[in-house]
Amino acid sequence: MKIVVIGGTGLIGAKVVKHLRDKDHEVVAASPSKGINAVTGEGLAQALAGARVAVDVANAPSWEDKAVLAFFETSSRNLLAAEAAAGIRHHVALSVVGTDRLLASGYFRAKLAQENLIKASPIPYTLVRATQFFEFVSGIAQAATEGQTVRLPPALMQPIASDDVAAVMAAVALAEPFNGTVDLAGPEPIRQDDLVRQFLNATGDTRTVVTDPNALYFGIAVNDQSLTPGAHPRLGPTRFADWLKHQHQ
47-67 pLDDT tens trace:
999 999 999 999 999 889 999
Closest CA to 31 of 53, 4, 49: 4
Number of folded domains in the chain?
1
Structural domain of residue 112, as residue ranges? 2-247
Q: Would you say residue 22 has pLDDT above 80?
A: yes
- Contacts of residue 39, defined as CB under 8 A and 6 or more positions apart, other chains included, come to 32, 71, 74, 75, 78
Distance (Å, whole) CA 149 – CA 18: 39
Q: Would you say residue 173 has pLDDT above 70?
A: yes
pLDDT, position 247: 85
pLDDT, position 98: 94
69-83 pLDDT tens trace:
999 999 999 999 999
Give the mean pLDDT of the chain: 96
CATH of the domain at 130: 3.40.50.720
pLDDT, position 63: 84
Q: For residue 234, what are the β-bridge partners?
A: 184
Confidence of residue 201 (pLDDT cuts 50, 70, 90): very high
Distance (Å, whole) CA 76 – CA 74: 6
Taking the mean position of all CA atoms in its chain, how far away is CA 47? 22
222-240 pLDDT tens trace:
999 999 999 999 999 999 9
Q: For residue 211, what are the β-bridge partners?
A: 152
Please state the pTM of the whole predicted model.
0.96
- On whether the CB atoms of residues 126 and 88 are closer than 8 A, the answer is no
Confidence of residue 34 (pLDDT cuts 50, 70, 90): very high
Taking the mean position of all CA atoms in its chain, how far away is CA 159? 11
